[in-house]
Amino acid sequence: MSEISVRQEILGLDAYVPGLSIAEIQEKYSLPQVIKMASNENPLGMSPLARAAVERHAAGAFRYPQGGNPRLARALANRHGVDARRVVIGNGSDEIIDLLIRILAVPGKHNIVCFNPCFSIYPIQGRICGVEIRRQPLEKDFSFNFSALLDRVDANTRLAFVTTPDNPSGYCPPREAVAELARDLAQKAPDCLLVVDEAYMDFAEDEKTASLLTGGIAPQNAAFMRTFSKSFGLAGMRVGYGILPGHLADFLWRARLPFSVNILAEEAALAALEDATFYAATQEAVRTGRKELFVGLTALGCRVWSSQANFLMFGMPEGAPTAAECFETLLRRGIIIRALKSYGLPDLLRVSVGNAEENLLFLETMADITARRPAQAGERA
């Protein structure tokens, strides 16, 4: 019997490459303890109020959640000062990105524009949907050339994706430049939606002046993505949301799978929004840790890019082990960071901001590595 065939777009598809897990590194290197600084997760863990909410509501997990998650939609609308009818909640913001592509772009006709490198979900989901992907290379300093991106737009462009702060560099473009891009898109491609992915925006030094959404600037042709995975410590619960033009939000609710946000995730998200103490502590830990890691890596001779997110991108000093060698040595010593080969950046690495102990251990281990000191499996700094 012959194998069942799949669509042509799927045959050549490169899947999303997640960061390595603690369990697999413990098993591979027989390590009793591993720290993970690879996936931009919350350095303080999960909000205590959210954890308590999950425990409190666990007995009700046999029930379906309320359709449309109206309580969470109202809470998010209040947080951002928008109409609740513009809020769409998903199983991570990935689901909303996927839905936007599927409801707006016609396979074989329309195209999507984004930068290269970028969050790989944009091109992956576009290809799955059979939509042409047009990618504009970043500038050498990893900044955005919006004029060049706009040159790739035509009458058949339905979505333009911009991540700010960007991943993996942490670059945050000026807010006015993003607003100008929205205006230019409205002129050149009136049927194109600008998707501004602000997953890391609340780590910016001044969110109010960096974010269109926080600044109350909402162009009619723009959608904003946010997540509970970072500052709220709910990466494993999978909750994200979008602030969309009202008419589009209605269509996303129609197309979204029923009950894609489970009842415990919704309760955790509602509780996390109320946990101002945890949120403030997270912001302090990230800003302090980001500075410590930047200063520490720079002192070791690494080239470190300035970041407005909860991670730093860096390259190894001249004469030191390569990025690949550094990554492997860190794994052997129980520290997971992110190799950027899957982003097309084999000479660069990305480290998430950890807690104070994790940041110190990482820097101490990096000092050993940059000094070219041999490392053995299981050895710790």
Domain final residue pick, 256, 275, 294: 275
The whole-angstrom separation of Cα 36 and Cα 330 is 11
**Residue 372, pLDDT score:** 62
Domain final residue pick, 258, 275, 292: 275
Q: Does one domain contain both 195 and 138?
A: yes
The whole-angstrom separation of Cα 244 and Cα 112 is 18
**Residue 381, pLDDT score:** 42
Q: Which of 222, 177, 216 is closest to 196 using CA atoms?
A: 222
Q: Among the residues of 300-355, which ranges form H helices?
A: 323-332
Q: Which helix (H) or strand (E) holds 11?
A: helix 8-11
**Residue 152, pLDDT score:** 97
pLDDT band per the 50, 70, 90 thresholds, residue 1:
low
| Chain segment 203-261, per-residue pLDDT in tens | 999 998 999 999 988 899 999 999 999 999 999 999 999 999 988 999 998 888 888 99
Domain final residue pick, 246, 275, 304: 275
Residue 378 counted as domain residue: no
The single residue listed with the structure tokens 């590194």 is 25
Q: Does one domain contain both 237 and 159?
A: yes
**Residue 3, pLDDT score:** 82
- The yes-or-no verdict on residue 337 having pLDDT over 80 is yes
The whole-angstrom separation of Cα 47 and Cα 113 is 36
**Residue 2, pLDDT score:** 73
Cβ proximity of 87 and 282 under 8 Å: no
0.75 surpassed by pTM:
yes
Number of domains in the chain: 2
The whole-angstrom separation of Cα 340 and Cα 343 is 5
- For range 96-122, the mean pLDDT: 93
Q: Does one domain contain both 163 and 311?
A: no
CA dihedral 244, 249, 251, 253 (to 10 degrees): 130
- For range 304-317, the mean pLDDT: 97
**Residue 14, pLDDT score:** 74
